[in-house]
Amino acid sequence: MEAVTPITAIEEEIVDEFSLFDSWEDKYEYIIDMGKKLPALEDQYKKEENKIRGCQSTVWMVSEAKDGRIFYKADSDAVIVKGLISMLIRVFSGQKASDIVSADMKFIDDIGMSTHLAQTRSNGLRAMIRQMKLDAMAWNSKQ
């Protein structure tokens, strides 16, 4: 099996990338770009049971387990949220369930995106992380 970059190393990469930006515009343009590049989720997955309901944008997410590793696909109708999901997928997809569950996600603070974690109703990021961890736990218990 090919080697998987550990979660903390990917997080560090992302923090390094963000450290290059010195304005909020650059940061968001990067996130928007990631959002635009995330492949659209196939229509068959865009159904009610795959929805993560934040108040404002709709997020769909599906996951599968292969050889003890969890893979995620997701989409949203809002592009910034989609960029944030893309980043989460980059960190989590292909990792071991136990690593996903125990990840502390501190890097979100380090890249200055913790406002998206604030407990407001419009917020999807917190709900997405929670769902990704729940999925990982569910796959883990099935194995």
The nearer residue to another protein, 69 or 116, going by C-beta atoms, is 116
DSSP labels for 11-38? HHHHHHHHHT--SHHHHHHHHHHHHHHS
Q: How far apart are CA 91 and CA 132, in angstroms?
A: 11
Options 16, 17, 42, 77; binder of another protein; rule CB under 8 A: 77
- 78 is an active site residue: no
Among the options 29, 37, 53, 55, which is catalytic?
A: 55
What's the chain's length in residues?
Answer: 143
Q: Is 81 in the site for another protein (CB under 8 A)?
A: yes
Binding mask 42-71 for another protein (x = CB under 8 A): -------------xxxx-------------
Strand order in the sheet with 95-96: 51-53, 58-66, 69-76, 95-96
The nearer residue to another protein, 56 or 114, going by C-beta atoms, is 56
* Element holding 70 (H helix, E strand): strand 69-76
The nearer residue to another protein, 10 or 38, going by C-beta atoms, is 38
Tokens 């010195």 -> residue: 22
Q: Cβ of residue 135: shortest distance to another protein, in angstroms?
A: 23
Site of interaction with another protein (CB under 8 A): 24-25, 28-29, 32, 55-58, 77-81, 122
Residues that are catalytic? 55
